Amino acid sequence: MDVDDDMPPELVETGQGGDEGDEPVEKPVKVPITIVTGYLGAGKTTLLNYILTAQHGKKIAVIMNEFGDSLDIEKSLTVNKGDEQVEEWLEVGNGCICCSVKDTGVNAIESLMEKKGAFDYILLETTGLADPGNLAPLFWVDDGLGSTIYLDGIVTLVDAKNILRSLDDPAGKVEGHDDHGHGPLMTTAHVQISHADVVVINKSDLVDAAQLDQVKARIQAINGLAKLHITTQSAVPDLEGFLLDLHAYDQVDKLDTAGKGHSHLDPTISTVAIDVPLLEPGQLAKVDGWLRAVLWESEVPGVDTKEDEAVEVHRSKARLAFTNGDIKMVQGVREVFEVFDAPNGSAGEGGSSRSGKIVLIGRQLREAELQRSFLATIQA
Ligand SMILES: Nc1nc2c(ncn2[C@@H]2O[C@H](COP(=O)(O)OP(=O)(O)OP(=O)(O)O)[C@@H](O)[C@H]2O)c(=O)[nH]1
């Protein structure tokens, strides 16, 4: 990797005390972190090696979560910074970083940056069995906590030859999602795709055009929002916008699902889009309440949902337009969601500012029912 050792550190020292007069207030530059997930053998290591050798001139920390069979108390984090490889030991309670590190993971990465200097970018490779929905909220740290890292997005690699089999293989049933023994099979492959902001369909050399189309259609049926890239040897054409600088959690740029999630090609997970009319400012609380019912309680307000029909939302995004000209956005992963003002000058999706949309990705999402429930709630 081409690293200029004289490159100024990106982490600007925070000013001490408040009496510097005209001194500009120095704030730490936040370092984006992308979570790279994907089934065993999909090509994650190939991707990370590809990034480390690409001539992009950025200092990128690649954190590989070495995960063996045993539940060791310590896991090795191998961090590649330029030519230098350093080993850091990260304490975890048990299991892998994704399910047990919680705040420790963020702290460990921050202390690593303190010791080793700032990176432009951090890529965190998860184990093949990781459920990114457990990991993302840990790195989606509240601004108020003053973290020096922020979650930029989730990239999922899939193996074009094996992904359809993985989605239908009962051996891959994901743990920690209670469906009361009902409902179609949900595998680790499902949750890795449903949470993804970018899906890289790798090993495209091992399938023909028709098989590739089938893979694409199935993935889009699950996650109608993710960007898809087709690769061999994990060679993405560029880094920015493909793997880095995704801003998947602090912007809502496009909510164009174009009906992709409606195909019912996947029995388990779908993407639904709910039209949101122009809202009065006072209706925001109702929208918030509706989202809480759906995301927190797994309920669809006004619908008597049977236990085995409970909704489970993995990813949510929304754009809300108000009569006073305000545009608000919603970002969510599992039950964690955030409503924020659209960045200045952004209409959010380049569309009309007089209407909005809520897009949900998850299990048991019945679009017409959700649409009716939403309208009834905001009009009540
Ligand atoms: N044919 C083909 N093989 C590939 C491609 N990309 C990677 N491979 C090979 O597939 C194997 C698995 O790739 P890895 O990058 O180790 O996959 P991984 O996702 O890191 O796998 P785990 O560490 O087991 O989770 C390696 O032997 C790679 O050389 C590709 O596009 N086509």
Reported as a single tens digit per residue, the pLDDT across 195-242 is 999 999 999 999 999 999 999 999 999 999 999 999 999 998 888 888
User: Residue type at 93?
Assistant: G
Model confidence at 349: pLDDT above 50: no
Residue nearest to atom 27 of ligand 1 (CA): 41
Higher pLDDT, 130 or 212: 212
CA of 236 to the centre of ligand 1 (A): 14
CA of 43 to the centre of ligand 1 (A): 4
SS3 content of the chain, % helix, strand, coil (to 5): 30, 25, 45
Predicted local distance difference test score (pLDDT) of residue 97: 33
Model confidence at 10: pLDDT above 60: no
**Residue 203 Cβ contacting ligand 1 at under 6 Å:** yes
Model confidence at 312: pLDDT above 50: yes
ipTM, interface predicted TM-score of the complex: 0.96
End-to-end CA distance of the chain, in Å? 58
CA 235 to ligand 1: nearest atom: 31
Model confidence at 1: pLDDT above 50: no
Mean pLDDT in residue range 234-260: 77
**Residue 111 Cβ contacting ligand 1 at under 6 Å:** no
> What is each CA distance from 48 to 1, 74, 81, 125, 275, in whole angstroms?
12, 23, 12, 8, 39
Q: Per-residue confidence at 378, pLDDT binned at 50, 70, 90?
A: very high
Contacts of 312 (CB under 8 A, 6+ apart): 177, 179, 298, 362, 363, 364
CA 46 to ligand 1: nearest atom: 15
Q: What are phi and psi of 346, to 5 degrees?
A: -105, 125
Model confidence at 165: pLDDT above 90: yes
pTM of the model: 0.81
Residue nearest to atom 32 of ligand 1 (CA): 203
Sign of CA dihedral 161, 164, 167, 171: negative
What's the CA gap between 283 and 296, in Å, rounded? Answer: 19
Degrees to nearest 5, angle at CA 351 with 337 and 227 = 60
Helices (H), ranges, 41-156: 44-53, 97-100, 103-116, 132-139
Whether 229 contacts 242, CB under 8 Å:
yes
Model confidence at 20: pLDDT above 50: no
Cα torsion through 174, 176, 178, 179, rounded to 10: -10
Structure confidence by residue, pLDDT tens digits, 37-95:
998 889 988 887 787 677 666 777 776 654 332 222 233 344 444 444 444 433 333 22
Ranking 80-84, 166-170, 327-331 by mean pLDDT, the lowest is 80-84
**Residue 201 Cβ contacting ligand 1 at under 6 Å:** no
Higher pLDDT, 258 or 226: 226
What's the CA gap between 242 and 244, in Å, rounded? Answer: 6
* Concatenated DSSP letters of 277-314: --B-GGGHHHHHHHHHHHHHH---TTS---GGG--EEE
Count of CB atoms within 10 A of residue 127's CB?
Answer: 21
Among 80, 232, 72, 64, smallest CA distance to 161 is for 232
Model confidence at 267: pLDDT above 50: yes
C-alpha 370: how far from its chain's center? 23
Copy the structure tokens of residue 378: 């905001």
C-alpha 332: how far from its chain's center? 9
Sign of CA dihedral 276, 361, 196, 228: negative
Q: Per-residue confidence at 257, pLDDT binned at 50, 70, 90?
A: low
Q: Per-residue confidence at 147, pLDDT binned at 50, 70, 90?
A: low
Whether 194 contacts 269, CB under 8 Å:
yes
Model confidence at 8: pLDDT above 50: no
Count of CB atoms within 10 A of residue 186's CB?
Answer: 21
Higher pLDDT, 291 or 174: 291
Predicted local distance difference test score (pLDDT) of residue 179: 63
If one residue of 37, 45, 211 were mutated to test the ligand 1 pocket, choosing by the most ligand atoms within 8 A of its CB, it would be: 45
